[in-house]
Amino acid sequence: MSIKERLSGNEAVAYAMKQINPDVVPVYPITPSTEIPQYFSSFVANGTVDTEFVPVESEHSAMSAAIGASAAGARVMSATSSQGLALMYEMLYIASGMRLPIVLTCVNRAISAPINIHNDHSDSMGARDCGFIQLYCETNQEAYDNIIMAVKIAELAKLPVMVCYDGFITSHSVENIELLEDEKVKAFVGEYTPEHYLLNPDEHVSMGPLDLQNYFFEHRKQLADAMTNAKEIIAKVSKEFGDISGRYYDAFESYKLDDAEYGLVVLNSTAGTAKTVVDKLRDKGIKVGLLKPRMFRPMPHKELAESLKHLEAVAVMDKADSVNAMSGPVYTELVTALHKHDVHIPVSNYIYGLGGRDVKATDIEKVFRDILAAKDNKENLNGTFYLGVRE
Amino acid sequence: MIEIRWHGRGGQGAKTASLLLADVAFNTGKYIQGFPEYGPERMGAPLTAYNRIDDEPIRIHSNIYEPNYVVVVDDTLVGPVDVCKGIDPNGAILINSSLEPSVIKEKLKDVNVKIYVIDASKIALETIGANFPNTALLAAIIKVTGLMSKEDLEKNMLDSFKHKFAKKPEVIEPNMEAVRRAYDEVKEV
Amino acid sequence: MVNDKMGASELPLAGIITESGNSEKFNTGEWRNKRPVHDKEKCKHCMMCILPCPDNATCHKDGVMTGIDYSKCKGCGICASVCPFKAIHMEDEGGND
């Protein structure tokens, strides 16, 4: 029997971390992820967990300490946002390159400048090529579930995992949630038994040695292969999680997409608002649907193309801008996926909600109306638009 | 779905009140959202918080632009802030104020919704002994929305206070008194 | 032991080295541009050159200095510098002379 509760996204993640009881949590607080270490440190102080909590002096140190602890053989978790993730950037590549299964919560927040504390995806999108698995969450429930799954995914894939959800919108909003019993989580994540680790008295290993022209490329190929193989691992762990929780997760969620003529692709909390818009338009007989990616790394390119190929047109919403005079990151990758699998449909791009600009149901309805109206004027469909911005 | 918007000032507990309301509604088996809109976090700066309450899971994740109800924690916000913006014509506004009803009516003369007033600060001072108007405002908005009966509210609040004030049981009864008084004293002007 | 004929699927993950102290299996003495030369006549076997060598390339057995292991020596010259009897001197390595 699950436990019905009401928690904010950050409370839910701190609670999941309590149930996981990781060995080491090195962390430096930054809005809007601050509550995670705040709540978790009280679990440490109360003796509810036996985690070594390391309050470091910067995010660079947080990830560095996480790498050291993980290499030593510990199960390690941390959390950050925005500039914090940016400051970790150098070490993110070390974590993935050393194949350390660190679980990092990224509470999505805009990257400065100008300075802003609110939600968009420019932090995690900026780190999309650092070799972390990236899972995106619509609700506090998905944040809780993905964090628990992330531990297992990371350890099986030997890759670090970043779980991303929207700052304030998800992190600070109290909503209904179903929690698993402590024993269930404990049994699900199990004991971490690394294959090689520095504190193993029976095996003396060196990690992170100099790796030059004749080996580096092969080690990067190993990383690429690990990311490809992670798809299957994520599917397997998600199935196991579904079996204990009743909540099954795929690489992405399709909402009323099968018989849709027009589709929308959007990450995180906005997908919830978009579902209400899909319902509203469906009530008027307009066949629209939604695709919400959960996995962005690895990219489920084949399955995405398969799910979208029957549509007349697709709009991709990006809560980050690549500033490349072309499009946002989700659009770029989605169009690549479609092209790769020989799907040629018009796809338009909407950069939206930067710096926490609220996304109303009417904004999303406008996107649908735009692509519907452009039915007979398809060159309008392949554009990049800044939704609701003052020109 | 009921949508409620709270207007307060930094430090007055509008956020806490919205979370308390979410709590109370959750305890009656509803689906809830309670969230603040964070701005510049300064003591005294106007801020907004929100609630959604429904029998079905809530998926929308935007701010609330057409609330059914508006709660104003500090009557000095009426004027500087357009507290009634977008309000449902069949909805209502609840104001914490010690002003005469005629004065409040004059301040909101352009508004065509029901106006309720509660002197939550006075109730708080007389029961709890400090200006913590949240409990009284919560009871008042529950009465205005008809979310639950007085009996259910009392039972619910007692459970929640027993948990919240486990180490300070002496403050439970004053808070319960604030709940009962606010439920009875909130009135339409 | 890895070699550069091995592919990504065969190499240990992330370049991890699971055999501690395996450097003795590698010829690391290819980087020298000067080599130390041991003069057995001058050597008093005082062992002053043994400890300072960063690569354990100064060899000894049963209290006797036995010479330099050129498969490990990087040519840093510390042994020549610490020898109280000038029993080790540096010579240019190949090519130039």
Nearest CA in chain A to B64: A360
**Which of A168, A176, A360 lies at the smallest CB-CB distance from B26?**
A176
Residues of chain A with CATH 3.40.50.920: 252-386
Q: What's the CATH code of the domain at C43?
A: 3.30.70.20
Q: Which of A70, A93, A196 to mutate to test the interface with C (most CBs of C within 10 A)?
A: A196
**CB A180: neighbour CB atoms within 10 A?**
22
Q: What is the pLDDT of residue A323?
A: 97
Nearest to B41 by CA among A315, C46, A31, A303: A31
Chain region(s) in chain A for CATH 3.40.50.970: 3-245
Q: Can chain C be said to touch chain A, i.e. do they have 3 or more Cβ pairs within 8 angstroms?
A: yes
Asked, for residue C87, whether it belongs to a domain, the answer is yes
Contact across the interface for A276 and B59, Cβ inside 8 Å: yes
Cα–Cα distance for residue pair A171/A166, rounded to 1 Å? 6
* Rounded Cα gap, residues B57 and C90, in angstroms: 82
pLDDT in tens, C37-93: 999 999 999 999 999 999 999 999 999 999 999 999 999 999 999 999 999 999 998
**pLDDT single digits (tens) A173-225:** 999 999 999 999 999 999 999 999 999 999 999 999 999 999 999 999 999 99
Domains held by chain B: number: 1
Report how far apart the first and last C-alpha atoms of chain C are (Å, whole number). Answer: 37
Residue A290: half-sphere exposure toward Cβ, Cα within 13 Å: 27
Q: Is C11 among the domain residues?
A: no
Mean residue pLDDT across chain B = 92
Distance from CA of A140 to the nearest CA of B (A): 11
Distance CA A198, CA A207 (A): 8
Report the pLDDT value the prediction gives residue A320, as an integer from 0 to 100: 98
Q: Is residue C23 part of a domain?
A: no
The dotted CATH code for A252-386 is: 3.40.50.920
Q: Which residue of B4, B62, B163 to mutate against A (max A Cβ within 10 Å)?
A: B62
Percent of chain C topping pLDDT 70: 96
- State whether residue B26 sits within 8 Å of chain A by CB: yes
Task: Tell me: cis bond preceding A298? Omega within 30 of 0 counts.
Answer: yes
Nearest-angstrom CA–CA distance, C33 and A380 = 67
In this prediction, residue A379 has a pLDDT band, given cuts at 50, 70 and 90, of low
Q: Looking at the complex, does the CB of residue B48 fall below 8 Å from at least one CB of chain A?
A: no
| Inside any domain, residue C83 | yes
Q: Residues near C9 by Cβ (< 8 Å), separated by ≥ 6?
A: A222, A225
Distance from CA of B17 to the nearest CA of A (A): 12
Note whether B61 contacts A168, CB cutoff 8 Å.
no
Please state the separation of Cα C38 from the chain's center in Å: 13
Confidence of residue C2 (pLDDT cuts 50, 70, 90): confident
Q: What's the pLDDT at C73?
A: 94
Q: For A62-99, what is each residue's pLDDT tens digit?
A: 999 999 999 999 999 999 999 999 999 999 999 999 99
CA nearest to A212 within chain C: C15
Cα dihedral across residues A208, A211, A215, A220: positive or negative = positive
Strand B2-9 with B69-72, pairing: parallel
- Distance from C-alpha of C74 to C-alpha of C71, rounded to nearest angstrom: 9
How many Å apart are CA B120 and CA B132, to the nearest integer?
8
Query: Which range, A119-133, B67-81, B110-124, has the best average confidence (pLDDT)?
Result: A119-133
Contact A278, A256 (CB under 8 A): yes
Q: Per-residue pLDDT averaged across B69-80, rounded?
A: 93
**Predicted local confidence at residue B129, as pLDDT:** 92
How high does pLDDT run on average in chain C?
91
First and final C-alpha spacing in chain B: 26
Record: contact B36-A169, CB cut-off 8 A? no
- Over residues A287-296, the pLDDT tens digits come to 999 999 999 9
List of chains touching C (3+ CB pairs within 8 A):
A
Per-residue confidence (pLDDT) for residue B40, from 0 to 100? 66
- Mean residue pLDDT across chain A: 96
**What would the mean pLDDT of A314-330 be, rounded to a whole number?**
97
**Interface check B114 vs A, CB under 8 A:** no
Range of the domain at C37: 28-92
**Is the predicted pLDDT of residue A21 greater than 70, yes or no?**
yes
Residues of C with CB under 8 A from a CB of A: 2, 4, 6-9, 11, 13-21
Q: What percent of chain A is modeled with pLDDT above 70?
A: 99
Q: For A225-265, what is each residue's pLDDT tens digit?
A: 999 999 999 999 999 999 999 999 999 999 999 999 999 99
B60–A361 C-beta distance less than 8 A: yes
pLDDT in the model for residue A381: 78
Per the structure, the complete domain to which residue B112 belongs is given by 2-188
Q: Between C11, C14, C17, which is nearest A97 by CB?
A: C14
Number of Cβ within 10 Å of residue B171's Cβ equals 16
In angstroms, what separates the C-alpha of A119 from chain B's closest C-alpha? 11
CA angle A182, A187, A188 (to 5 degrees): 100
Which chains, if any, share at least 3 CB pairs under 8 A with chain B? Answer: A
Average pLDDT value for residue range B161-184: 91
Please name the residue of chain C whose CA is at the shortest distance from the CA of residue A205: C18
pLDDT tops 60 at residue C96: no
CB B137 within 8 A of CB B72: no
Distances (CA, A) of B119 to A66, A262, B186, C75: 53, 53, 8, 89
Percent residues over pLDDT 90 in chain A: 96
Q: Nearest CB to B26: which of A6, A170, A172?
A: A6
* Mean pLDDT along residues B14-19: 89
pLDDT score of C97? 43
Ranges B119-123, B130-134, C92-96, most confident: B119-123
Q: Which residue from A376, A282, A280, A357 is spatially nearest to A317, judged by alpha carbons?
A: A357
For residue C18, which residues of chain A lie inside 8 Å, CB to CB? 196, 203, 205
Q: Which residues does chain A have within 8 Å of residue B32's beta carbon, measured at their own beta carbons?
A: 6, 174-176
What lies within 8 Å, CB to CB, of C48 at 6+ separation is C82, C83, C84
Cα pseudo-dihedral A144, A146, A149, A153, rounded to 10: -150
Size of interface A-B (CB pairs under 8 A): 56
Q: Is B1 on the interface with A (CB under 8 A)?
A: no
Query: Nearest by CB to B31, which of A169, A176, A359?
Result: A176
Mean pLDDT for the stretch of residues A29-46 = 97
**Are A176 and B35 inside 8 Å of each other by CB?**
no
For residue B189, give the nearest of B90, B79, B108 by alpha carbon: B108
Cα separation of the two ends of chain A: 53
- Is A11 within 8 Å of A35 (Cβ atoms)? yes
Residue of B nearest to A269 (CA): B61
Q: Cα separation of A13 and A146, whole Å? A: 9
B22 to chain A, any CB pair closer than 8 A? The answer is yes
Of A169, A174, A270, Cβ closest to residue B34 = A174
Average pLDDT over residues A7-17: 98
Four-residue CA torsion sign, A270, A272, A276, A281 = positive
pLDDT of residue C95: 52
CATH number for the domain spanning B138: value is 3.40.920.10
Chain C interface disruption, residue of A102, A199, A205, most C CBs within 10 A:
A205
Q: Is the N-terminal amide bond of A226 cis, ω within 30° of 0?
A: no
Point out the residue among A207, A214, A225 whose CB comes nearest to the CB of C16.
A207
A3-245: CATH, from 3.40.50.2020, 3.40.50.1000, 1.10.1200.10, 3.40.50.970: 3.40.50.970
Chain B environment of A172 (Cβ under 8 Å): 35-36, 38
A168 vs B22: CB contact, 8 Å cut-off? no
